[in-house]
């Protein structure tokens, strides 16, 4: 039994490292400049590298997913050449961690409420809903601090001025003062984060489903998400 547990942990750690490496490779192959963008604020990009953290979550569980996300964050921090320096990778890391936390929280609440009844679609709906809520909630706080203090004061990045020009161009909005710009930025980044959760969760599940017969071989016979199948 101890050997089996050790084997499962070894496979999970290996899987986490592999998925973290794949996320880093995806960043190299599909850099930000060619990633799909959010039309209202085009500097916000849908990053396909997040898919691998969610795949790690579905197959190996939350710990492996966090490790994969951490590997990707370290890679981004070491290779970042943009004007934001370490700030961009840090905000990305917070986005992914908040989403993973929501997936985990949704799974726990689902297990608590349903008892012995297990159904994958209901579990995934709960996980998705909480992933959206936690990512939006945490990033509202993070983005407010970044827009109003961390960006302009510490990194000399004028997010408010840049975003004001962007929103004037894309939506034709006019603002009376900077506080209105901040509110609009928080609103539209929240919409973006909700859409990014859909992008980051639905695609991995679509990939995971046709591979479900192969996953038991990858995850020592027990892919993490299999606990939510009907019994």
> For the segment 30-42, what is each residue's pLDDT rounded down to a tens digit?
998 999 999 999 9
> Per-residue pLDDT tens for 80-114?
766 678 999 999 999 999 999 999 999 999 888 87
What is the mean predicted confidence (pLDDT) over 166-186?
Answer: 95
Residue 43 three-state SS: strand
pLDDT of residue 15: 86
pLDDT of residue 203: 93
What's the total number of domains in the chain?
Answer: 1
pLDDT of residue 119: 75
Look at the block and give the residue holding tokens 């986005």.
95
pLDDT of residue 210: 67
Distance from C-alpha of 144 to C-alpha of 179, rounded to nearest angstrom:
11
> Predicted confidence band at 126 (pLDDT cuts at 50, 70, 90)?
very high
Q: Are 23 and 71 in contact, with CB atoms under 8 Å apart?
A: yes
Instruction: Determine which helix (DSSP H) or strand (DSSP E) holds 38, and give its type and residue range.
Output: strand 37-38
Q: Which domain holds residue 97?
A: 2-228
- Does the pLDDT at position 75 exceed 80? yes
Domain CATH for 175: 1.10.1760.20
């Amino acid at each position: 039994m101890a050997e089996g547990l050790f084997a499962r942990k070894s496979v999970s750690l290996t899987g986490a490292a592999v998925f973290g490496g794949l996320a880093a490779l995806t960043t190299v192959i599909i850099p930000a400049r060619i990633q799909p963008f959010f039309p209202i604020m085009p500097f916000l990009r849908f990053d396909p590298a997040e898919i691998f953290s969610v795949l790690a979550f579905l197959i190996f569980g939350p710990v492996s997913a966090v490790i994969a996300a951490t590997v990707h964050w370290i890679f981004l921090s070491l290779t970042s050449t943009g004007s934001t320096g370490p700030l961009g990778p840090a905000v990305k890391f917070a986005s992914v961690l908040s989403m993973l936390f929501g997936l985990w929280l949704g799974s726990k609440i689902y297990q608590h409420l349903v008892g012995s009844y297990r159904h994958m679609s209901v579990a995934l709906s709960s996980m998705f809903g909480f992933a959206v809520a936690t990512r939006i909630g945490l990033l509202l706080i993070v983005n407010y601090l970044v827009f109003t203090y961390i960006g302009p004061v510490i990194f000399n990045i004028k997010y408010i001025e840049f975003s004001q020009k962007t929103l004037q161009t894309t939506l034709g909005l006019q603002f009376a003062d900077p506080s209105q710009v901040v509110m609009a930025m928080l609103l539209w980044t929240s919409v973006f984060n909700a859409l990014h959760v859909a992008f980051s969760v639905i695609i991995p599940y679509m990939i995971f489903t046709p591979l479900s017969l192969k996953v038991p071989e990858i995850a020592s016979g027990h892919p993490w998400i299999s606990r939510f199948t009907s019994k």
